[in-house]
Amino acid sequence: MGYSHIAQHHATAINGFYTETFNPYLNFHRPCYFAVDTIDAKGKIQKTYPHDQIMTPGTDYRPSRITATNSKPASLPMHSNTKPRS
C-alpha cells in the first residue's frame, strides 16, 4: 500500500482484504525452518535446522509431518448425535 494516507472510508475494505486474503497467503508462502531430529550418543534427541530444510509450508506440506503430538483436537471435526435440519 505504501506510506501515503488512506481515506477513512477505504480503511475497512483494505483491512478486510489484509486479514482475510493477504496475510494468510503471505504466511503460507513465507520461508520456514524445518527441524531434523538426530539421536546423539547419550540417546537424546537433538534438533538441527540445516540450510537445505528451509522451505515454505506450501512446498513442504506432507501428511507425514502431521503427527499425534502436534495435531490439535479442537481443529478436528466434531460429530454430534443430532440430525441436520431439512
Closest residue by Cα to residue 33 from 47, 18, 16: 47
3-state secondary structure (DSSP) of residue 32: strand
Q: In the prediction, which pLDDT does 63 show? A: 54
Q: In the prediction, which pLDDT does 61 show? A: 58
3-state secondary structure (DSSP) of residue 47: strand
Residue 57 CB-density burial (10 A; 0-12 exposed, 13-18 middle, 19+ buried): middle
CA distance 23 to 50: 27
What digits encode the pLDDT tens for the residues 43-86?
A: 899 999 998 888 887 776 555 554 444 444 444 444 444 444 44
Q: In the prediction, which pLDDT does 60 show? A: 63
pTM over 0.85: no
Higher-scoring residue by pLDDT: 5, 63 = 5
